[in-house]
C-alpha cells in the first residue's frame, strides 16, 4: 500500500462546494487502497482578511501574534474537510501543524521546517484513517506557533511526503499544471508536460506562484515526484522531476515575473574586508530576503551596494540599516520602489550563448530601461519599472517561442 500526499490550495477549498469536491478526490485515492495524507490551506482569501484585520489595529503588528492569528485559517479548513469526508463514509482526522509533528526554527512569519516527528501521523494512518493536516504552520522547540511564509502549505506537503517516504506528492490548484508563464497575465502561455526540479526551482524563486520554492527544494533533495494538477477538472497535470523531456529547440522553458520589488542602495560604506558580511548578515538575522546584489567601489575607495527586496520588507530593511549605521559607516540610503523583476529560465541556455543578449534586445525594443541584472546558468533576470512589466513579459514570451500552439504541450 503506497502513501500518497496531496495538497489543496486556498482557491481549491474556497467554499463548501469546493471542499466537497476536494474531499471526493481524497476519497478516490483512499478507495484505491492508498494511505492518504492531505494538506490544506486556508479557505480562499481568508488569510488576507485576517491580515487586513490586524492592520486595522496596528501599523506594525507583532510578528508572534500575527503567526497566532494567521494559523487559525487552516484550522477552519481541516475540520470542515474531515466533516465532508465523514459524510462520505471515510474515517478521517484533522491535525494542526504542531499535532502533525512539524517542528520549525524560531523565526516568526517565515520559519523553516527543521524536523517532522511522524509518530502521531503514522498511528492514525495505521488505524486506517485519512489524515488532514493544516499547512503553512508548525511549532518551535519552545512551543511557539510559527508560520512558513506565504505559499508554505506547498512546503508542508512535500516535507511530509519526504518524512513519510511517500510515493508522490500532488499539488491540486486552480490551474491545470505548470505553464510557460502565468496564464492569467499571459493568455498565450501553454502548459508544460514536465519540467526539471532546477528549472521549477528557478521559476518559483523568481515569482512563479504555482509552487513554493522551498517545496521544490524538498522535492529535489528527497527525489519526491511532484505533480501539479487542477482540483476543478480531471486533466493531466505537470510532473516536476529530475530530468524533464524537452521540446526540440525550446531553449527557454518558462518566463517568471514578480511585482512589488524595491531597489535599496547603501552609499559610502567604508571599504573593509567584512563590509558586505556585516551588511548582509544583519539583514539575514532579521529574516529579510535579499535578491539581486550590485557592488561599486568609488574613486575614494568607499563602497556603494545596491540590492533588491520585496517592497513589503522595505520598512524592516530600513530599520536594520539604521540600527547598524555605526558598524556599516555609510553616508546615505536611497531606494526606488514600484519596480518588477522579469526572468527567463531554461536548462537549454547553458549550451546556447546569446540568450541574454536576445532578452535585452527585446527589452530595448520596448524602450524600457533596465535597473538591475542577475544571471545563473539557467536564468537571466532584469529589474524594470513595474508599469512596463506586462508588455515586456508578453514580448519575451513571443520572442522565445513560448506562445501556445494548437495541440502542443512543451
- The answer to whether residue 273 is domain-embedded is no
Which range of residues forms the domain containing residue 104?
Answer: 3-174
CATH of the domain at 165: 3.40.1160.10
Inside any domain, residue 68: yes
Number of domains in the chain: 1
Kindly state whether residue 382 falls inside one of the protein's structural domains: no
Name 265's Cβ contacts closer than 8 Å, sequence gap at least 6.
304, 305, 306, 333, 334, 335
Its pTM stands at 0.81
Q: Is residue 387 part of a domain?
A: no
DSSP code per residue over 131-183: EEEE-SEEE-TTS-EEE--TTHHHHHHHHHHHHTT-SEEEEEESSSS-BSS-T
CA pair distance 178, 237, nearest whole angstrom: 8
Q: Is 298 domain-assigned? A: no
pLDDT values of the chain reduced to their tens digit, one per residue, 410 residues: 799 999 999 999 999 999 999 999 999 999 999 999 999 999 998 999 999 999 999 999 999 999 999 999 999 999 999 999 999 999 999 999 999 999 999 999 999 999 999 999 999 999 999 999 999 999 999 999 999 987 799 999 999 999 999 999 999 998 899 999 998 899 999 999 999 999 999 999 887 888 888 899 989 999 999 999 999 888 889 999 987 655 545 789 999 999 999 999 999 998 888 999 999 999 999 999 999 999 999 888 899 999 999 999 999 999 999 999 999 999 999 999 999 999 999 988 888 889 999 999 999 999 999 999 999 999 999 999 999 999 999 999 999 999 986 444 55
Amino acid at each position: 500500500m503506497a502513501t500518497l500526499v496531496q495538497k489543496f490550495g486556498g482557491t481549491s477549498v474556497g467554499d463548501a462546494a469546493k471542499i466537497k469536491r476536494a474531499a471526493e478526490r481524497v476519497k478516490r485515492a483512499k478507495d484505491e487502497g492508498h494511505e492518504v495524507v492531505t494538506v490544506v490551506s486556508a479557505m480562499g482569501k481568508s488569510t488576507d482578511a485576517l491580515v487586513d484585520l490586524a492592520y486595522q489595529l496596528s501599523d506594525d503588528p507583532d510578528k508572534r501574534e500575527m503567526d497566532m492569528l494567521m494559523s487559525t485559517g487552516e484550522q477552519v479548513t481541516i475540520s470542515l474537510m474531515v466533516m465532508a469526508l465523514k459524510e462520505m463514509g471515510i474515517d478521517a482526522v484533522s491535525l494542526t501543524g504542531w499535532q502533525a509533528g512539524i517542528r520549525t526554527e524560531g523565526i516568526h512569519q517565515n520559519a523553516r521546517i527543521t524536523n517532522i516527528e511522524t509518530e502521531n501521523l503514522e498511528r492514525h494512518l495505521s488505524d486506517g484513517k485519512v489524515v488532514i493536516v493544516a499547512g503553512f504552520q508548525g511549532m518551535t522547540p519552545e512551543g511557539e506557533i510559527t508560520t512558513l511564509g506565504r505559499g508554505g502549505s506547498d512546503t508542508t506537503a512535500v516535507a511530509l511526503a519526504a518524512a513519510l517516504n511517500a510515493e508522490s506528492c500532488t499539488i491540486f490548484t486552480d490551474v491545470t499544471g505548470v505553464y510557460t508563464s502565468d496564464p492569467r497575465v499571459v493568455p498565450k502561455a501553454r502548459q508544460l508536460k514536465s519540467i526539471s526540479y532546477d528549472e521549477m526551482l528557478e521559476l518559483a524563486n523568481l515569482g512563479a506562484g504555482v509552487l513554493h520554492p522551498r517545496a521544490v527544494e524538498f522535492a529535489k533533495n528527497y527525489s519526491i515526484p511532484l505533480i501539479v494538477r487542477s482540483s476543478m477538472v480531471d486533466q493531466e497535470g505537470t510532473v516536476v522531476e529530475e530530468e524533464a523531456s524537452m521540446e526540440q529547440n525550446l531553449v527557454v522553458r518558462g518566463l517568471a515575473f514578480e511585482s512589488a520589488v524595491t531597489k535599496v542602495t547603501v552609499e559610502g560604506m567604508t571599504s573593509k574586508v567584512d563590509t558586505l558580511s556585516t551588511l548582509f548578515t544583519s539583514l539575514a538575522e532579521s529574516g529579510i530576503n535579499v535578491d539581486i546584489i550590485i557592488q561599486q567601489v568609488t574613486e575614494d575607495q568607499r563602497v556603494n551596494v545596491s540590492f533588491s527586496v520585496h517592497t513589503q520588507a522595505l520598512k524592516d530593511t530600513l530599520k536594520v540599516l539604521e540600527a547598524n549605521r555605526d558598524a556599516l559607516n555609510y553616508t546615505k540610503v536611497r531606494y526606488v520602489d514600484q519596480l518588477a523583476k522579469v526572468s527567463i529560465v531554461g536548462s537549454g541556455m547553458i549550451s546556447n550563448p546569446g540568450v541574454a543578449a536576445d532578452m535585452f534586445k527585446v527589452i530595448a525594443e520596448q524602450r524600457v530601461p533596465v535597473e538591475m541584472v542577475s544571471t545563473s546558468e539557467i536564468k537571466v533576470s532584469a529589474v524594470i519599472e513595474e508599469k512596463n512589466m506586462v508588455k515586456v513579459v508578453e514580448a519575451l514570451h513571443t520572442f522565445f517561442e513560448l506562445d501556445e500552439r494548437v495541440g502542443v504541450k512543451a
